[in-house]
Homo-oligomer: A and B are copies of this chain.
Amino acid sequence: MNSFHPPQRVLMGPGPSDVYPRVLEALGRPTIGHLDPDFVGLMNDIKSLLQYALQTDNALTLPISAPGSAGMEACFANLVESGDEVVICQNGVFGGRMKENVERCGATAIMVQDDWGRAVTPDKLRQALQDNPNATLVAFVHAETSTGARSDAATLCEIAREFDCMTIVDGVTSVGGIELALDKWGIDAFYSGTQKCLSCIPGLSPVSFSERAVARIQGRETPVQSWFLDMKLILGYWGEGQTRAYHHTAPVNSMYALHEALLILREEGLEKAWKRHALHHEALKAGLEAMGMSLVVPVEERLPQLNAVSIPEGVDDASTRSALLQQFGLEIGAGLGALAGKVWRIGLMGCSANRRNVILCLSALESVLSASGASIAKGAALEAASGVFND
């Protein structure tokens, strides 16, 4: 057995995305202690960079030391108590995972279903809240990674507030890729991931809690069922005071990486990053459509950073993805859940959202599909994509 040297890949799946070289460089710097004064300074910087990325002044804004699904669990385990009623708007895989979380807290999940590949319908949420006056929480996914649909978080949060409900919002794939404004939209609890539009390594989950959410956590009648994810304890380590109480050993090197990725985002600026994702999505879409392929999500509900494209009739899912990987080192994603075998998910996330990647993806797809005998329009994709860039 030898040291592992990863193959060269271009990551255009649902995440991880390609990681910025600067982030990898930061990641590999020598480890220091998690209570070192210099590390505590880094934690402060990360908090303020995260507040910028999420557009929030929430004091309780920090990265959970585990992947996005632990961030999800941190939100639910801290805000939900046994017996609570939680309305969950589901339009993909991750709404289902929310349900699992609610039920494992001994609470009741009231499911509001929308088609996979569509945004959450605000009126359905309103109806559910009218029908369930005891509900105190609303949860939904802002950017559904499993389908590529974007929901109107501002409107959904407004409806929740009308019914005096707090909100838990999944923004794993939104941060850095599309407009996001926690405070303006009134999001109470938010979790995300690092390996999507931040182009950081996977393994951390930035979360943020509003003052209302913190008050709810402080006022719980029962202890949070997870010790590791108990925000009251985590606050002792991440809090404002001079003394940082040991809770767990922070993933020091991953924090170097997150800091660098957030710095890059701030250097570019949020609006520019959002526009960059939108532009490259337009080019990819133009190319895919010129080839004769179509996106699953209606145009006004599409995420630029996650493009679910229907697999053309007669084309084999797995062997196509495998050929892209083997021949071009290009990773695109498979469909998940209800969309498994029916779509590919092409990510344009963070530093993966660049012109080189768009052209590579279109050209490689054209090459592999042509070789497999699929009936696609040839030579049109590159021209269509270039047209968008040169507009």
A-side interface residues toward B, CB under 8 Å?
1-9, 11, 13, 15-16, 18-19, 22, 24-34, 36-39, 42, 45, 49, 65-70, 72-73, 77, 97, 100-101, 103-105, 193, 195, 201-203, 223-228, 246-254, 256-257, 259-260, 263, 266, 325, 331, 336
Q: Which of A18, A65, A69, A203 has the most CB of B within 10 A?
A: A203
CB neighbours (8 Å) of A77 from chain B are 226
Question: In the complex, are the beta carbons of A260 and B3 less than 8 A apart?
Answer: yes
Question: In the complex, are the beta carbons of A263 and B16 less than 8 A apart?
Answer: no
Question: In the complex, are the beta carbons of B34 and A16 less than 8 A apart?
Answer: yes
Complex-state Cα separation, A105 to B5, whole angstroms: 41
CB neighbours (8 Å) of A7 from chain B are 32, 36, 38
19 CB < 8 A contacts A-B: A1-B49, A3-B259, A4-B29, A6-B39, A7-B36, A9-B30, A11-B33, A13-B33, A19-B31, A19-B253, A31-B195, A36-B331, A66-B67, A69-B228, A69-B248, A104-B225, A104-B226, A202-B251, A203-B252
Complex-state Cα separation, A201 to B50, whole angstroms: 23
Q: In the complex, which residue of chain B has the Cβ closest to the Cβ of A39? A: B6
CB neighbours (8 Å) of A104 from chain B are 223-227
Q: Please pick, from B2, B22, B249, the residue contacting A15 in the complex, using a CB distance under 8 A.
A: B249
Q: How far is the CB of A201 from chain B (nearest CB, A)?
A: 5
Beyond A4-B42, A251-B254, is A73–B22 a contact (Cβ under 8 Å)? Answer: no
Complex-state Cα separation, A193 to B378, whole angstroms: 53
Question: In the complex, are the beta carbons of A250 and B38 less than 8 A apart?
Answer: no
Complex-state Cα separation, A347 to B59, whole angstroms: 34
Q: In the complex, which residue of chain B has the Cβ closest to the Cβ of A27? A: B28
CB neighbours (8 Å) of A336 from chain B are 246
Complex-state Cα separation, A336 to B27, whole angstroms: 29
Q: How far is the CB of A142 from chain B (nearest CB, A)?
A: 18
Q: How far is the CB of A318 from chain B (nearest CB, A)?
A: 11
Question: In the complex, are the beta carbons of A9 and B27 less than 8 A apart?
Answer: no
Question: In the complex, are the beta carbons of B67 and A248 less than 8 A apart?
Answer: yes
Complex-state Cα separation, A270 to B195, whole angstroms: 35
Complex-state Cα separation, A73 to B227, whole angstroms: 7
Question: In the complex, are the beta carbons of B6 and A38 less than 8 A apart?
Answer: yes
Q: How far is the CB of A47 from chain B (nearest CB, A)?
A: 12
A3-B263, A70-B228 known, 5 other contacts, Cβ within 8 Å: A31-B202, A66-B66, A67-B249, A68-B249, A193-B249
Q: Please pick, from B5, B69, B228, the residue contacting A29 in the complex, using a CB distance under 8 A.
A: B5
Complex-state Cα separation, A34 to B97, whole angstroms: 19
Q: How far is the CB of A64 from chain B (nearest CB, A)?
A: 9
CB neighbours (8 Å) of A266 from chain B are 1
Q: In the complex, which residue of chain B has the Cβ closest to the Cβ of A22? A: B3
